[in-house]
Amino acid sequence: MFDKYIVCEEGFRTLDDGRTGGVVEVRMPYYRGLALSMVEAVDLVVDGRPVPAARTTFTVHGNTYRFDQLPRTTDDRWEMGERAQLAFETDEPLAAGEHDVAVAVRLRISYMPVPGGGRDAKRLTLAAQEI
């Protein structure tokens, strides 16, 4: 039942650092927190277009990581229920209004016979930009 909570309905916004792209907030599809080294992938598809992992970053409680840093990050954790920020770059600025956002999370949980994780897709409305 955790899958439908992965993509947060609030907090979808454009990047505020001058780059084009956005931020979608995501939650762990598991009953407990896991070290970031066990987060194998958080795949993002925006409006049907996959965003390469190299163009995304992952932020938990203020700490930002590139996805190629996660495998060796054993001392920080994505907590259960915590809203992580998945920031992504796009070639073109995101248009105002609605976007289809799909997220698939892959987790490495040693005692489970199958790969862990989950997927969720929602139509999100871009938050109004502050000027």
Partner 1 sequence: MTDTAPGLPRLGTTLFSLSLEQRKPGRDFASLVAEVAARDLGPGLEMVAFQSLRGWPRLDDAAVREVRGVIESSGLTPSCLAINNDLGLYPGRLLTDDESHEYVAVQVRGAAALGFPVARVGVETSPAILERLLPLAEELGVAVGVEIHAPLTIEAPPVAALKELFVRLDTPWLGFIPDMSSSMRAIPEAVYDAHRAAGISPELTAMTKQLWAEPGPTVAKFPELERRAAEAGASPAQVGNLRMLFTMHGKMEPERWADFFPHVVHVHGKFYGIVDGPDGLTDPSIDWPTVARVLVEQRYTGFISSEYEAHAYSDRYDAFDQVRAQHDMLKGLLEAQASVVAR
User: Least distance to partner 1 from the beta carbon of 15, Å?
Assistant: 25
Residue (50 or 71) nearer to partner 1, CB: 71
- Does position 52 interact with partner 1 (CB under 8 A)? The reply is no
Identity (one letter) of the amino acid at 95?
A
Place of tokens 């203020």: 62
CA nearest to 103, candidates 91, 115, 121, 86: 121
User: Least distance to partner 1 from the beta carbon of 19, Å?
Assistant: 29
Residue (34 or 121) nearer to partner 1, CB: 34
Residue (1 or 131) nearer to partner 1, CB: 1
Strands 98-107 and 39-46, by their bridges, are antiparallel
- Does position 5 interact with partner 1 (CB under 8 A)? The reply is yes
20, 64, 74, 125: which one contacts partner 1 (CB under 8 A)? 74
Q: What is the CA radius of gyration of the chain?
A: 14
Q: Are 123 and 99 in contact (CB under 8 A)?
A: yes
6, 26, 38, 102: which one contacts partner 1 (CB under 8 A)? 38
Q: For residues 76 and 55, what is the distance between their CA atoms, to the nearest angstrom?
A: 21
Phi, psi of 70 (to 5 degrees): -60, -40
Query: Which residues contact partner 1 (rule: CB under 8 A)?
Result: 1, 5, 27, 31-35, 37-38, 40, 71, 74, 77, 79-81, 108-111, 113-114
